[in-house]
A and B are shown apart, each in its own frame.
Chain A
Amino acid sequence: MTHTGLATDRLSLAYGDRIVIRDLTLQVPERRVTSILGPNGCGKSTLLKALARLIVPTGGEVKLSGKTLGAIDTRALARQLAILPQSPRAPDGITVADLVRRGRTPWRGFLAPWSEDDGRICAQALEQVGLQEMVDRPIDELSGGQRQRAWIALVLAQDTRYLLLDEPTTWLDLAHQLEVLSLLRQCNRDHGTTVVAVLHDLNLAARFSDHLILLGADGLVASGAPDEVVTEDRLRQAFGLDALVVPDPVTGRPLVVPR
């Protein structure tokens, strides 16, 4: 095991009595975009939550820089790693600015007032997602794509080295899915943020990720670069899917065409 970055060591996870992940050992590559893929119910989201310590493993452990996740102070962890859960619900009437400001929580002392740094980082996050013109708009008035970008701005304001997202593209149309994924790609490029996302769409994942983790009903099927992971054999193994894999005419990445 290396002592850098985010890794799991013989990790087992369960929901109640149902074991969803068993003895999973893997390393999330540093400063890369990683996607977790797999059929419904295979434990993609569960794995992501365990990486963010939202659920406690039934066996094994998650490590961050060689330290067991459970041993890290809650706030110290929140300064290193941010997670955006699937379809979060915004409080009624909350504005974009107010939502994003709450991302600064782990950096603020108990009674510390709002600082210039906090303001600067929030402004930066809003600019990154392109919502700087909409700071005073209530979230419920935004379009689906804008809303998702506001949530991403919140976790960007958390200013962490690791950014975990649970299905950030769900409910969005294709154009907005591309927009969100390009945004994550850009965060990775500009700040070296390690991004881990659970995604549904194999082709988008292959296009936007450096690294894929493919889970099947019985655990890990493959992990590695997209062209190593997205192959006809492995798709059959993970999804029971009979598909043709051809090079994407635009990017040259693997493209899945179901038969």
Chain B
Amino acid sequence: MKSSILVLPVLLLGAVLLSLMIGQVVLSPLQLWTGLWSGTGPGALTLRVLRGPATFTAAGAGAVLGAAGTIFQILLRNPLAAPDVMGFMSGAGLAVVAGVAFGISLPLPLLSAAGGLTAAVAVALLSVRRGAVMQSSLTLILVGIGVSFLASAASSFLITRMPPQEAADAQRWLVGSLAARSWQHAAQVCGLGALLLLVLALQVRALKVLELGDELAAGLGLRPGRARNGLIGTGVLLAAAGVAVAGPVPFVAMMAGPLGMRIAKVTAPGARLCAAAMTGAVVTILADVVARSIVPGVQLPVGVMTGIMGAPYLLWLLSKEAEAGEL
């Protein structure tokens, strides 16, 4: 199988360009180019204030979510295992909503990280049966889906107690939204993302051994429990970094890995993670482009679009797993 490494960077560049061009007003690449260098005209405004920040926030959020999803999919050997399915993102979302509701003035990435990690610990603890922590991946995923519903319900409950305007904003954010993103958001998710991806790069070798199974990994000199916890930590933090700027956007984390693997034709964990990050960015950017241009004059939250794309994929995946006897 020949890997096609260059496809994804090209797709990503294309998606970024498309996202900068398309919206209420369609701009030509030339208008963008003059806007970029002259600093005046519609191109400049669109680049600097309107579409630039949203595009780069989408790219950053999509990349961290894609990488996060793939970590769990490799660790649990199941395409359903992703932070959006398993409640880590809903947990992060709940923490942010709670922070707003109770006026806790912590930075959003910290709040969402705390929420995501709490959800992960909850899933782990609730999956424990007869002392064995690592149950079958299906158990963990099902418990995660339960935790996800619980966190979403708690978020909805908190929103009902907010003042109307705040409640509307929070509701929109909880779907996954890139509206009114600034360069600060873009810098935050890209900066945190780069840092966490660097940490992840150092963990890839452990992941390559871990995916051979715990016993073989231990035989090869790894401490499987410790390595796995480190990877779970990185995965949850990556997902939380995405949630902090874009809300719990559904399905990007779950779809990006398998999709990227097929587009780039790669199988090794490091390459899969790279492909997933780029695919996540492409999917999120494109979903946002569609979300803001499909209904004239209305900007839909990006999460509505990823939901529409992701739900059929999930159903297809479930039917495939049921056929294979995994469910």
- Which A positions have Cβ atoms within 8 angstroms of B? 49, 52-54, 74-75, 77-79, 81-85, 88-95, 98-99, 102-103, 105-106, 108, 110-111, 138, 154-155, 158
Does B218 touch A at the CB level, under 8 Å?
yes
Interface string of B1-45 (1 = CB under 8 A from A): 100000000000000000000000000000000000000000000
The docked-state distance in angstroms from the alpha carbon of A92 to that of B265 is 12
A198 to chain B, nearest CB (A): 13
> Of B163-171, B192-200, B204-212, B318-326, which stretch is located at the interface?
B204-212
What are 26 A-B pairs with beta-carbon distances under 8 A? A49-B215, A52-B218, A54-B219, A74-B218, A78-B220, A78-B221, A79-B221, A82-B219, A82-B220, A83-B219, A85-B215, A88-B213, A91-B77, A98-B267, A98-B268, A99-B212, A102-B208, A102-B209, A102-B220, A105-B222, A108-B205, A111-B202, A138-B1, A154-B216, A155-B219, A158-B219
**Do A75 and B215 contact each other (CB < 8 Å), given the known contacts A91-B267, A95-B267, A138-B1?**
no
B322 to chain A, nearest CB (A): 19
Query: Is B1 a contact partner of A105 (Cβ separation < 8 A)?
Result: no
Query: Is B219 a contact partner of A78 (Cβ separation < 8 A)?
Result: yes
Query: Is B222 a contact partner of A74 (Cβ separation < 8 A)?
Result: yes
Query: Is B221 a contact partner of A105 (Cβ separation < 8 A)?
Result: yes
B268 to chain A, nearest CB (A): 6
Query: How many residues of chain B have a CB within 8 Å of chain A?
Result: 21
Query: Is B267 a contact partner of A105 (Cβ separation < 8 A)?
Result: no
Q: Is the interface of A mostly helix, strand, loop or mixed?
A: mixed
- Residue in chain B with minimal CB distance to A111: B202
The docked-state distance in angstroms from the alpha carbon of A77 to that of B77 is 28
The docked-state distance in angstroms from the alpha carbon of A102 to that of B213 is 12
The docked-state distance in angstroms from the alpha carbon of A52 to that of B223 is 13
- Residue in chain B with minimal CB distance to A104: B220
Query: Is A106 a contact partner of B221 (Cβ separation < 8 A)?
Result: yes
Query: Is A91 a contact partner of B223 (Cβ separation < 8 A)?
Result: no
Give every chain A residue within 8 A of B219 (Cβ-Cβ): 52, 54, 78, 81-85, 155, 158
Residues 218-257 of B contacting A (Cβ, < 8 Å): 218-223
Give every chain B residue within 8 A of A99 (Cβ-Cβ): 212
**Do A75 and B221 contact each other (CB < 8 Å), given the known contacts A91-B267, A98-B268, A138-B1?**
yes
Given contacts A74-B222, A138-B1, A154-B216, 19 further A-B contacts (CB under 8 A): A52-B219, A54-B218, A74-B223, A78-B220, A79-B221, A83-B216, A85-B215, A85-B216, A88-B216, A89-B77, A90-B212, A94-B268, A98-B267, A102-B212, A106-B220, A108-B205, A110-B202, A155-B219, A158-B219
A197 to chain B, nearest CB (A): 14
Give every chain A residue within 8 A of B209 (Cβ-Cβ): 102, 105
The docked-state distance in angstroms from the alpha carbon of A112 to that of B192 is 26
Taking each of A83, A91, A95, which has the highest tally of chain B beta carbons within 10 Å of its own beta carbon? Answer: A91
Query: Is A93 a contact partner of B221 (Cβ separation < 8 A)?
Result: no
Give every chain B residue within 8 A of A110 (Cβ-Cβ): 202
Taking each of B211, B219, B268, which has the highest tally of chain A beta carbons within 10 Å of its own beta carbon? Answer: B219
Give every chain B residue within 8 A of A103 (Cβ-Cβ): 220
Query: Is A94 a contact partner of B267 (Cβ separation < 8 A)?
Result: yes
Query: Is A83 a contact partner of B215 (Cβ separation < 8 A)?
Result: yes
The docked-state distance in angstroms from the alpha carbon of A132 to that of B269 is 23
The docked-state distance in angstroms from the alpha carbon of A228 to that of B1 is 52
A149 to chain B, nearest CB (A): 16
10 nearest A-B pairs in the assembled complex, by CB-CB distance: A78-B221, A93-B267, A106-B221, A75-B221, A85-B215, A83-B219, A105-B220, A91-B211, A74-B221, A105-B209
Query: Is A158 a contact partner of B216 (Cβ separation < 8 A)?
Result: no
Give every chain B residue within 8 A of A74 (Cβ-Cβ): 218, 221-223
The docked-state distance in angstroms from the alpha carbon of A155 to that of B216 is 9
- Residue in chain B with minimal CB distance to A81: B219
Give every chain A residue within 8 A of B208 (Cβ-Cβ): 102
The docked-state distance in angstroms from the alpha carbon of A93 to that of B202 is 23
A76 to chain B, nearest CB (A): 8
**Do A89 and B213 contact each other (CB < 8 Å), given the known contacts A98-B268, A102-B208?**
yes
A111 to chain B, nearest CB (A): 8
Give every chain A residue within 8 A of B267 (Cβ-Cβ): 91-95, 98, 138
Residues 136-164 of B contacting A (Cβ, < 8 Å): none
The docked-state distance in angstroms from the alpha carbon of A92 to that of B70 is 13
